[in-house]
């Protein structure tokens, strides 16, 4: 099969619904020739059902990125299913409800710690769990962020968690270059996924794009962000690492 990911073996996390960036990344990756393995949490059956809409059948394995035991066995699982690994997609983020929606000053550290662990530290833990395979011939790790340079309304502690994710990606790029592994992020504009809709006040946040993005932005179209992820997984960015590619209609460049 031809395509920019022909012959690539890619692990994709975060496929929960057809409206997610992760799903469209998986679809595009298959269309571009990749062989996939999906991970799922907390309900593998949900991901298995959604995966039926992909162009080709794909195996789904359970993975809780905060579970050290599951992470320890991930490399063996991937090896058994794919035979090796060329790319990892990190599409994982979570914060308890009391860490969102205007509760920034009152959020307890336990909730902040959960947001940081699942949304930021998991990039490191997922990458190192896959390192035995990625290190064989190099590869690419691509994560998804929401521009953490700014304080967004209602986003609260997910903002610092994304800032930590972005810093973690840069440090991974620094540490893993010697293995030929690139680590980059796509900063996507808002998409009307289940994860986004769980943020109180999401419509207020999304309205910013209607008013200020130079290129029209569709909340219902995750494909542009998926294309960015697939491009970074490919060999078309062989010397790009530690980068954040904005796929947000250009809003990041606009001051007022």
Q: Which two tokens stand for residue 74?
A: 């991930």
Q: Identify the active-site residue in 162, 171, 179, 197.
A: 162
- In a 13 Å sphere around the CA of 209, the CA atoms on its Cβ side amount to 21
Position 196 scores a pLDDT of: 61
Determine if residue 186 is labeled as part of a ligand binding site.
no
> Could you read off the pLDDT of 112-137 as tens digits, one per residue?
999 999 999 999 999 999 999 998 99
Residue 4 labeled ligand binder: no
Q: Work out the percent of the chain whose per-residue pLDDT is above 70.
A: 96
Residue 64 annotated as binding site: yes
Which H, E and C letters describe 195-245, residue by residue?
HHHCCCCHHHHHHHHHHHCCCCCCCCCCHHHHHHHHHHHCCCCCCCCCCEE
Determine whether 8 is an active site residue.
no
Cβ neighbours of 74 (radius 10 Å)? 23
Catalytic pick among 8, 41, 124, 155: 155
| 206 compared with 49, residue with greater pLDDT | 49
Q: Model's pTM, two decimal places?
A: 0.95
CA distance 23 to 222: 9
Q: What is the pLDDT of residue 1?
A: 66
User: Any binding-site annotation on 191?
Assistant: yes
Going by C-beta distance under 8 Å and a sequence separation of 6 or more, which residues neighbour residue 23? Answer: 15, 16, 17, 50, 53, 54, 222
Among the four given CATH numbers 3.40.50.720, 3.20.20.70, 1.10.1280.10, 3.90.1150.10, the one describing domain 9-249: 3.40.50.720
106 marked as part of a ligand binding site: no
Q: For this structure, is 162 an active site residue?
A: yes
Euclidean distance between CA atoms 176 and 161, whole angstroms:
22
């Amino acid at each position: 099969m031809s395509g920019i990911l022909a012959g690539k073996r890619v692990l994709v996390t975060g496929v929960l619904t057809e409206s997610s960036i992760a799903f469209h990344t998986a679809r595009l990756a298959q269309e571009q020739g990749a062989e996939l393995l999906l991970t799922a949490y907390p309900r593998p059956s949900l991901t298995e059902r959604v995966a039926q809409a992909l162009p080709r059948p794909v195996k789904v394995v359970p993975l809780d990125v905060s579970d050290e035991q599951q992470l320890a066995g991930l490399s063996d699982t991937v090896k058994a299913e794919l035979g090796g690994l060329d790319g990892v997609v990190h599409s994982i983020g979570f914060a308890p409800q009391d860490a969102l929606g205007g509760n920034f000053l009152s959020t307890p550290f336990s909730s902040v710690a959960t947001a940081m662990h699942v949304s930021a530290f998991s990039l490191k833990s997922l990458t190192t769990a896959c390192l035995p395979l990625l290190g064989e011939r190099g590869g690419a790790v691509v994560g998804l962020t929401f521009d953490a340079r700014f304080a967004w309304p209602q986003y609260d502690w997910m903002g610092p968690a994304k800032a930590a994710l972005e810093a973690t990606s840069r440090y991974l790029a620094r540490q893993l270059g010697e293995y030929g592994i690139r680590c980059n992020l796509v900063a996507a504009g808002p998409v009307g996924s289940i994860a986004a809709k769980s943020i109180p006040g999401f419509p207020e946040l999304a309205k910013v794009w209607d008013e200020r993005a130079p290129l029209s932005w569709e909340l219902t179209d995750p494909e542009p962000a998926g294309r960015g992820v697939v491009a970074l997984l490919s060999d078309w960015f062989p010397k790009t690492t530690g980068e954040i590619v904005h796929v947000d209609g250009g809003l990041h460049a606009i001051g007022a």
